[in-house]
Structure 1
Amino acid sequence: MTNREKEIYNLILKNPMISQKEIAEKLGIQRSSVGVQISNLIKKGKLKGKGYIVNEEDYIVVIGGSNIDLQGTSLEKLVYEDSNPGYVTMSLGGVARNIAENMARLGLNIKLISVVGDDLYGKKIIEESKLTGINMDEVIISKNSPTSTYLSILDNSGDMKLAINASDIISNVDIDYIKSNNTLIKNARCIVLDTNLDENVLDFIFDEFSNKDIFVDTVSSIKALKLIKNLKYINTLKPNKIEAEILTGIKITDEVSLNKAVDSLHEKGVKNVYLSMGKDGVIFSNSVERKKYSNYESKLVSATGAGDAFMAGIVYSYIKHSFNSSTLYGLAMASMAINTKETINRDITSEKIEKIVLK
């Protein structure tokens, strides 16, 4: 499609009942030009003719945070209130954006709803994410807020000692913006959320799209609290031990209490639970089975990004296979993620993941 055709196509995708006059006004072009472009879209098979029915393969909508990760690592023991020799790395981040990139690298059709600033970091996120295959058309570019930034300081052993998260920009992804993407979201095969979104926005999404399969990454123990009243809407949840304790009010100290916590999540409405046990693997549970899976053997370079990769593997299996094998695909993705210093392993492909799972 040409750039103009893409603009018109995206407007129709958001609102299939939009008129040619409305399209012309939004884009500042002649109505006759809109008619020509729509005719071209029909010829190319992107529209099915009268009514502007969109002809598009299954896609996944991911909604949540995008940011730049800045990481400083000291070469020697950290000396506080002083300058420390070391090195600084910069990479693309944000839980939702990371999950989206991992899935795009697996060949899935991904549309990201997020926000970046109209600045250097924002442009970097947009451009590099597009190169990985993510559709960034619905990412807001805010002129009023800087791109979300996560700044962390590590000591010479690699342990994080201090971090600052500047992410107020996420409030731009508000209820009105979700409403403006109603048709896009309703037509998605499934929805993936992170809890960086404001609580009222999460509430609206769960209520408005309760008939969709919704996958949720809890992100952190504090942000997981936003989910408590909406667990009944969640198809798939990926908490760690602490987050599961917060969501259920059950202290996990042994196998009995672990099973009680998982049972509680099911009683509250969650269909599929992937309880991360860190180095001890994952507990997968649904109405059919409950099973503990060990991690795949892999050289640990950095654990950063393993959880995002795991979620991508779950969704990949859901789309391409089934939930029966989803834990294996999640663990295979995580095993590749920890093999690199980067947040996302750029060597990830569906062929490599299938090979790990099937060997």
Structure 2
Amino acid sequence: MTDLPKKEQLYELIRANPFISQQDLATQLGLSRSAVANYIATLVRERRILGRAYVLPDQRPVVCIGASNLDRKLRSIDRLVLGTSNPASQDESFGGVARNIAENLARLGTPTALITAVGNDASGGALLAHAEETGIDTRGALRLDGASSGTYTAVLGHDGDMVVALADMALNDRLSPAFLATRQQQRAGAALVVADLNLPIESVAALLDDAARDGVPLVLVAASEPKMARLPHSLRGLRLLILNEGELAARVGRTLDSDAAIGAACLELQRQGAQDLIVTRGARGVMHTSPAGMMHLEAPRVEVVDVTGAGDAFAAAVCWSLHKDGDDAADLGLACRRGLQLSAMTIGCAQTVCPTLDAGHLESLINASELD
């Protein structure tokens, strides 16, 4: 690299580390800070980098923001009997809505970054190491001394359906607006921002404000019915909200007992500022908004092995579709079909994120389903 002109040497250093500081560039190249700034300004004018954070045009990632935790799944060997001890098998894996979405996206070949909070403990180190091995950029993560990384414990019946889950996710409250502001450059350089509702309501509101101001599409993914309280009243700036029927009912404060009621609830949220919504309905498929009204898609049949992670897989495939096709040209119906196929693939395997996932496999499943 030493034979290259200084500007090209600087460009290669930025390609290797898009978060490198101007001072580090100056030190490595033997230049003044002002000379580095001039070279960067030239690269911006040439559209070889996209301004601050030095984001390269062909490498704009999907930035996922929210929960990472250690998942523990206890599966009853026989029919579950409440109020007594039940024989069970145990499995541990890495989880968290934002982390699961990020891993699915990375396995689909999408440049992906994860902004999350972990304790500076063994679990946190393992979470980030696994993410990095999968190809996820974790440099924006918050590492906290004296804190335990989040945990999620699910109790499954012998048929694989969830009976109850317990989550220690308080660490995500540290993903405050002030902290997110320190990652503003990274977020502004994203092709798409995906956040889960494990974030504090003030942080979700800040992400909505930034999306409305900066024009980076924002997808919000619900985490549970109680955490719908973390969704601000104004949804201005929101490209897409992904949630299930119960979460939608919690938002509007009424029972949704028909397709028409779901459609009316979606329209209510669109009036609050959301551009589109997708409502997942388990084995009954999904409904989504469109210019022609509410659309319904059936779910593919699948033998249930483990439902954990299926909703996150669906959300990841939808986001992959938006990133792959470009948000302006994206077909939300196609995105949902991709989501349903990846969700079915995840339900049919024992892992939270299907280890055999890749983009070619997913597309072949979609093509095969359309021929049925």
Range of TM-score over shorter length? 0.7 to 0.9
Q: 1:334 to 1:153 in 2, by over 3 A?
A: closer
Aligned pair 1:62/2:64, yes or no?
yes
SS at match of 2:338: helix
Q: Which residue of 2 aligns with 1:353?
A: 362
The alignment partner of 2:75 has SS state of strand
Contact map agreement 1:271 1:287 (CA 8 A) in 2: no
TM-score, L = length of structure 1 = 0.85
Alpha-carbon distance in 2 for matches of 1:261, 1:251 = 10
104-113 vs 82-91, greater mean Cα deviation: 82-91
Residue in structure 2 matched with residue 299 of structure 1 by the alignment: 303
**Aligned partners of 2:179 and 2:318: how far apart in 1?**
27
Q: CA deviation at 1:255?
A: 2.8
Identical aligned residues as a percent: 26
- Aligned AA (1:191): V
TM-score between the two structures when normalised by the length of structure 2: 0.82
Q: CA deviation at 1:34?
A: 5.7
Distance 2:108 2:291 in 1: 28
- Within the candidate set 113, 118, 121, 1:119 is matched to 121
Mapped contact 2:149–2:171 kept (Cα < 8 A): yes
Superposed counterparts of 1:1-359, under 5 Å: 9-12=17-20, 19-20=22-23, 23=24, 32-33=27-28, 35=30, 48=48, 53-56=54-57, 57-76=59-78, 84-158=86-160, 160-210=162-212, 211-321=215-325, 322-324=330-332, 325-359=334-368
Task: Specify every segment of 5 or more residues in structure 1 that has no aligned partner in the other structure, as ranges.
Answer: 13-17, 25-30
How far residue 309 of structure 1 moved from its aligned partner, in angstroms, is 0.7
**Do the aligned residues in 1 keep the contact of 2:205 with 2:232 (CA within 8 Å)?**
no
CA RMSD of aligned residues (A): 3.1
Tell me: CA distance 1:339–1:55, structure 2 relative to 1, closer, same or farther (3 Å): same
Matched AA of 2:56: N
Query: What letter corresponds to residue 115 of structure 2 in structure 1?
Result: I
Whether the 8 Å CA contact 2:55–2:189 is kept in 1: the answer is: no
Is 1:250–1:261's contact at 8 Å kept on the other side of the alignment? Answer: no
Contact 1:114/1:138 (<8 A) preserved? yes
Counterpart AA for 1:214: L
Whole-angstrom distance in 1 between the partners of 2:315 and 2:164: 26
**CA distance in structure 2 between the aligned counterparts of 1:281 and 1:156, rounded to whole angstroms:** 23
* Preserved contact between residue 274 and residue 284 of structure 1 (Cα < 8 Å): yes
Per-residue deviation, 1:303: 1.5
Partner of 2:7: none
> Retained in 2: the 8 A contact 1:271–1:286?
no
Name the amino acid aligned to 2:102.
A
1:129 CA drift (Å) = 1.1
Find the aligned partners of 2:107 and 2:117 in 1 and give their Cα distance: 21
Partner Cα distance (1:35, 1:177) in 2: 33
Residues 330, 74 of structure 1: alpha-carbon distance in 2 compared, 3 angstrom cutoff = closer
What residue ranges of structure 2 are gaps of 5+ in the alignment? Answer: 2-12
Q: Which deviates more, 68-77 or 58-67?
A: 68-77
Question: When the two structures are aligned, how many residues end up with a matched partner?
Answer: 340
Measured in 2, the distance between the counterparts of 1:79 and 1:300 equals 21
C-alpha distance 301-292 of structure 1, shift in aligned 2 (>3 A):
same
Q: CA deviation at 1:165?
A: 1.6
Counterpart in the other structure of 1:15: none
Mean alpha-carbon deviation: is it higher for 242-251 or for 267-276? 242-251
Amino acid of the structure 1 residue aligned with 2:282: G
> 1: distance between equivalents of 2:129 and 2:137?
11
Q: Per the alignment, in what secondary structure is the counterpart of residue 291 of structure 2?
A: coil
The CA deviation at 1:290 is 2.6
CA distance in 2, matches of 1:313, 1:157: 25
Question: 3-state SS of the aligned residue for 1:193?
Answer: strand
Judged with a 3 Å threshold, the aligned counterparts in structure 2 of structure 1 residues 199 and 302 are, in CA distance, closer, same or farther, namely same
Instruction: State the AA in 2 paired with 1:139.
Output: A
Paired amino acid for 1:33: Q
